[in-house]
Amino acid sequence: MGHNHNHKHQDIATEDKVIKEELQGDVFFKEQMLTNPNRNGKKFYIESYGCQMNFSDSEIVAAILSEVGFEPTRDIDQTDLILINTCSIREKAEETVRKRLQYFNSLKRHRPHLLVGVLGCMAERLKGAFLEQEKIVDMVLGPDAYRDLPRLVATAEDGDKGMNVFLSREETYADINPVRLGGNGISAFVTIMRGCDNMCSFCVVPFTRGRERSRDAFSILAECSELFANGYKEVTLLGQNVDSYKWDNPETNQKVDFADLLLMVADIHPDLRVRFTTSHPKDMTDKVLYAMSSRENICKYIHLPPQSGSSRILKKMNRTYDRAWYMERVEAVYRIIPDCVLSADIITGFCTETEEDHQETLEVMRLSNYYMSYMFYYSERPGTLAARKYADDVDMETKKRRLEEVIQLQNQLSLEHNRQEVGKIHKILVEKDSKRSDLELCGRNSQNKMVVFPRQEAKVGDYVWVKITDFSQGTLRGELVEKPV
Ligand code: 5AD
Ligand code: SF4
């Protein structure tokens, strides 16, 4: 039965309050369905690989399944439906998924009614292989097709395989209120846009996730407000390229850009921290930096991937900026937000990369002083611009050696970063128990640095003040202190 859900905000709401009520109605509806024995308590199990966007999408999928009476479970032995949300970004990610699928398929031998579905970025490329040649899955759905999941599940329950890998220009799942899976109840991801129009030559994302589109700002605000009302203290706004967020407010005819959106979300409440990822160096404006510096609760941390430090390689990567442009953006960050921390994505051994190019990457890392980096060697992806135009001509040994040098440098930078923190006092959002000891908690500061400290009276979800006493490459340790005046 379709829940008649009108999400044309321009028709029904002039204030986000109204939308919020509407969304709460939606939650109520879901709760009813969850406890509704319609489907005899059928359960689904979902596993996610790849980027945060995929994990966030799994929560949208969970919401869609909940509406038709499926309950989430973390027990693979007790589930009726297994879903795997896949990633195509590097070859290794795809290999991992293939192994998991073989395992899921082996479970089917003893559980003939068990259904297995493939979601996400591998869907488009491998639909034929999974469904037809290998026959190891019952359904395949691309990132824009999740609303079709109930239909494909029903089809599969009747014994027919199905797929939907249609990529949309509009779908943002704006009206769907994600079911939070496995979170800490404190920190949530909120998708603000989908797809990517950038066409970096190494990247498969424009092919797997389609065109870029921004989500209705009111629905983003409603989701964040509701999270805060439910005890959440931190939202991370997600998009492949958040700086190109743009949305026309149909009521005022005003354009909302990413800086505007950041301020709107930050102004929900001073105790709601706002983070975001990922920023593209070509689009990150001073307006965003000034917005960040104007609000204490917008975290002073930017993930600003250079990919390479060589202008020649950047051109081949089709990043549309050069080294000088990138360094100018880094300088703007440190000028406008002196306490800001940066992190990076770096690829070593891209097509034609020389030793000099590699040295330039190391130099950009030093100059930018990243606190941490996600570092990869280049992995050619079928269908990308680079795969079609350039030979993958740096041998594996060199790729790996350069990657090792990049990692070594990053380790040094991280350690130095943390050494500077000793004696300083930070405001920490308490996130969870420390892994090592029951007597300790951990959480991050505004700059996204993880800090471990004695539990004492503190609780998960509190803001506490911690004076740093010790450090390692990945973590800071400290003691609770009074809030500084
Ligand atoms: N090979 C290696 N790394 C890649 N990335 C994207 N595509 C590739 C590829 N083909 C990296 C980029 C990107 C991050 C999410 O993954 O650094 O920013
Ligand atoms: Fe995310 Fe890209 Fe992997 Fe898709 S291919 S899951 S967008 S990292």
Residues with CB under 6 A from ligand 1: 89-90, 202-203, 305, 307, 345, 347, 376, 378-379, 381
pLDDT digits (tens, 9 = 90+) for 10-20: 222 222 222 22
Mean pLDDT of 4-11: 32
pLDDT given for residue 40 in this prediction: 65
How confident is residue 423, by pLDDT bands cut at 50, 70 and 90? very high
208 Cα–ligand 2 center, Å: 8
Q: Which CATH number fits domain 425-481: 3.20.20.70, 2.40.170.20, 2.40.50.140, 3.90.950.10?
A: 2.40.50.140
pLDDT digits (tens, 9 = 90+) for 134-151: 678 999 999 999 999 999
pLDDT at residue 239 is higher than 90:
yes
Identify the residue with better confidence: 251 or 461.
Answer: 461
Closest to 165 (Cα-Cα) out of 182, 150, 148, 187: 148
Instruction: Say yes or no: CB of residue 208 within 6 Å of ligand 2.
Output: yes
d(CA 342, CA 457): 32
Closest to 293 (Cα-Cα) out of 258, 256, 246, 340: 340
CA atoms within 13 A on the CB side of 193: 25
pLDDT at residue 28 is higher than 60:
no
> Which residues are 43's β-sheet partners?
71
How confident is residue 25, by pLDDT bands cut at 50, 70 and 90? very low
Domain range summary for the chain, segments of one domain joined by +: 13-164, 187-419, 425-481
pLDDT given for residue 466 in this prediction: 98
pLDDT given for residue 304 in this prediction: 98
272 Cα–ligand 1 center, Å: 31
Block residue for tokens 């440190």: 334
pLDDT given for residue 287 in this prediction: 98
Tell me if the domain spanning 187-419 has CATH number 3.80.30.20: yes
The CATH fold of domain 13-164? Rossmann fold (3.40.50)
pLDDT at residue 9 is higher than 70:
no
Closest to 265 (Cα-Cα) out of 242, 285, 240: 242
Strands 234-238 and 273-277: parallel
pLDDT at residue 153 is higher than 90:
yes
Point out the ligand 2 atom lying closest to the alpha carbon of residue 121: 4
The residue whose CA has the least distance to atom 16 of ligand 1 is: 89
- Global confidence as pTM: 0.89
Instruction: Say yes or no: CB of residue 195 within 6 Å of ligand 2.
Output: no
Ligand nearest to the CA of 120: 2
pLDDT given for residue 124 in this prediction: 82
Q: What angle do CA 267, 279, 309 make, to 5 degrees?
A: 150
The residue whose CA has the least distance to atom 17 of ligand 1 is: 345
pLDDT digits (tens, 9 = 90+) for 339-384: 999 999 999 999 999 999 999 999 999 999 999 999 999 999 999 9
Q: In whole numbers, what is the pLDDT of the chain averaged over residues?
A: 90
pLDDT digits (tens, 9 = 90+) for 264-284: 999 999 999 999 999 999 999
pLDDT at residue 435 is higher than 90:
no
159 Cα–ligand 2 center, Å: 30
The residue whose CA has the least distance to atom 7 of ligand 2 is: 205
pLDDT-above-90 percentage for the chain = 84
Closest to 366 (Cα-Cα) out of 398, 409, 415: 409
How confident is residue 445, by pLDDT bands cut at 50, 70 and 90? very high
Ligand nearest to the CA of 94: 2
Point out the ligand 2 atom lying closest to the alpha carbon of residue 49: 6
Mean pLDDT of 41-69: 94
pLDDT digits (tens, 9 = 90+) for 91-103: 999 899 989 999 9
pLDDT at residue 323 is higher than 70:
yes
**Ligand 1 test: best mutation among 347, 361, 399, most atoms within 8 Å of CB?**
347
- What are residue 393's phi and psi, to 5 degrees? -105, 5
pLDDT given for residue 13 in this prediction: 28
pLDDT at residue 33 is higher than 60:
no
How confident is residue 310, by pLDDT bands cut at 50, 70 and 90? very high
Block residue for tokens 């160096």: 281
Point out the ligand 1 atom lying closest to the alpha carbon of residue 51: 15
310 Cα–ligand 2 center, Å: 25
d(CA 228, CA 318): 39
pLDDT given for residue 14 in this prediction: 26
92 Cα–ligand 2 center, Å: 12
Among the listed ranges 153-167, 274-288, 379-393, 405-419, which one has the minimum average pLDDT value? Answer: 153-167
CA atoms within 13 A on the CB side of 402: 25
